[in-house]
Amino acid sequence: MIATDSLDRLFAEAADQDAQPLWTMMEAVVPPHPQPKAVPHVWRYAALRPLLERAGNLVTAKDAERRVLQLINPALASPHTTDTLFAGLQLILPGEVARAHRHVAFALRFIVEGEAAYTAVGGEKVTMHRGDVILTPSWQFHDHGHEGERPMVWLDGLDLPVYQFFPANFAQQYGDERFPSEPGPAESHLRYPWADMQARLEADDGPYAFAEYVHRQTGGPLSRTIGAAAERLAGGASSPTRRETAGVVYHVYKGRGATTVGNTLLEWEKGDTFCVPSWMPYRHEAAKNTYLFRYDDRPVLEAIGAYRAEASAS
């Protein structure tokens, strides 16, 4: 042992070998509670919709490939809406085709406005309507097109931020603009109509209702990384206060109200999108009859044994 040995000398010599002592940063590496980097935030559709329209005038679908405004968390950078989830508003205009490609990331689409656009996935073409949830499974060629007369907008939800940790995501273009496809069945596993979800929510007589989307083929969540659900609140009603290790992105299908996330109050109305970071207690309060769509990273957290949830004691 060196007679003049010290921790400072140990740390310096460890650093020379690209090593660091864990015990000096144990709480930062293994904190006493989840510490998301994302912050609660709301993106207002009334402000974003005109920007989408301008993008439609300035950028063609061919040039953009996907004409999307990313919803970026103020505390993070692209592609983060939460620590693990991406959200974006995509615009497609009548007569356009967003060319076929495929990628490792899973995607879902919640249709915000418009009718008669379609998504074709792996040879199956489904027509999209307001409130529908449309799935794009991992590594399936898919394209979007619009055969209607008015602009179509949907909310894209992807697991892109997960691939900041697992560098396995990439994309591949299809040789032609469209992948060969035929109309899908009425009960396609790629399309989940809003009417079906609303009926489930209305079947609950209480002022608050919650229902999860169930994949028609697997009977489980919509994907291995992202799950989705919807909530109904009567005017003047509140949801239970809860927190969960999942990050959540919400979209207001109908209604108006506010969500308290930790110490932050997020006021929202129809068309708005907001996020709830991991482990922050949150509670919705509806000023009028409200329907909320949400997606989260619960499936991937459950797969690695990291999902936790609890109701507030208050």
Q: Which of 289, 235, 231, 241 is nearest to 261 (CA)?
A: 241
Per-residue HEC secondary structure of 73-121 comes to CCCCCCCCCCCCCEEEEEEECCCCEEEEEEECCCEEEEEEECEEEEEEE
DSSP assigned state of 306: -
Q: b/e map of 102-120 (b: 16 or more CB within 10 Å)?
A: bbbbbbbbbbbebeebbbb
Q: What is the mean pLDDT of the chain?
A: 95
* Pair 80, 72: CB distance under 8 Å: yes
- Residue matched to tokens 């109908």: 254
Strands 182-183 and 124-129: parallel
The pLDDT assigned to 180 comes to 93
The pLDDT assigned to 65 comes to 87
- pLDDT tens, position by position, 129-160: 999 999 999 999 999 999 989 999 999 999 99
- pLDDT tens, position by position, 243-282: 999 999 999 999 999 999 999 999 999 999 999 999 999 9
* Coil, strand or helix at 227: strand
In whole angstroms, give the CA distance from residue 245 to residue 56.
37
The pLDDT assigned to 270 comes to 98
The kind and range of the H/E element at 237 are none
The pLDDT assigned to 283 comes to 98
The pLDDT assigned to 312 comes to 76
The pLDDT assigned to 1 comes to 55
Q: Taking the alpha carbons of 83, 165, 86, 219 in that order, is the dihedral positive or negative?
A: negative
**pLDDT exceeds cutoff 60 at 314:** no
The pLDDT assigned to 2 comes to 58
**pLDDT exceeds cutoff 80 at 163:** yes
The pLDDT assigned to 61 comes to 87
Q: Say if residue 94 is exposed, middle or buried (CB neighbours under 10 Å; 0-12, 13-18, 19+).
A: middle
DSSP assigned state of 23: G
The pLDDT assigned to 207 comes to 98
How does DSSP assign 116-173, residue by residue?
Answer: EEEEEETTEEEEEETT-EEEE-TT--EEEEE-SSS-EEEEEEE-GGGGGTS----EEE
The pLDDT assigned to 196 comes to 97
How does DSSP assign 184-200, residue by residue?
Answer: PPTT-TTEE-HHHHHHH
In whole angstroms, give the CA distance from residue 85 to residue 63.
25
- pLDDT tens, position by position, 110-135: 999 999 999 999 999 999 999 999 99
* Coil, strand or helix at 63: helix
- pLDDT tens, position by position, 182-239: 999 989 999 999 999 999 999 999 999 999 999 999 999 999 999 999 999 999 999 9
The pLDDT assigned to 313 comes to 53
Predicted TM-score of the model (pTM)? 0.95
* Pair 291, 231: CB distance under 8 Å: yes
Q: Domains of the chain, with CATH numbers?
A: 41-190 (2.60.120.10), 194-309 (2.60.120.10)
In whole angstroms, give the CA distance from residue 126 to residue 258.
34
Q: Which of 143, 141, 135 is nearest to 119 (CA)?
A: 143
- Torsion (CA) 251, 256, 258, 259 in degrees, nearest 10: -30
Q: Which residues fall within 8 angstroms of residue 169, CB to CB, at 6 or more apart?
A: 103, 104, 105, 160, 163
- pLDDT tens, position by position, 37-94: 999 999 999 999 999 999 999 999 889 889 999 999 999 999 999 999 999 999 999 9
The pLDDT assigned to 31 comes to 93
DSSP assigned state of 17: T
The pLDDT assigned to 4 comes to 87
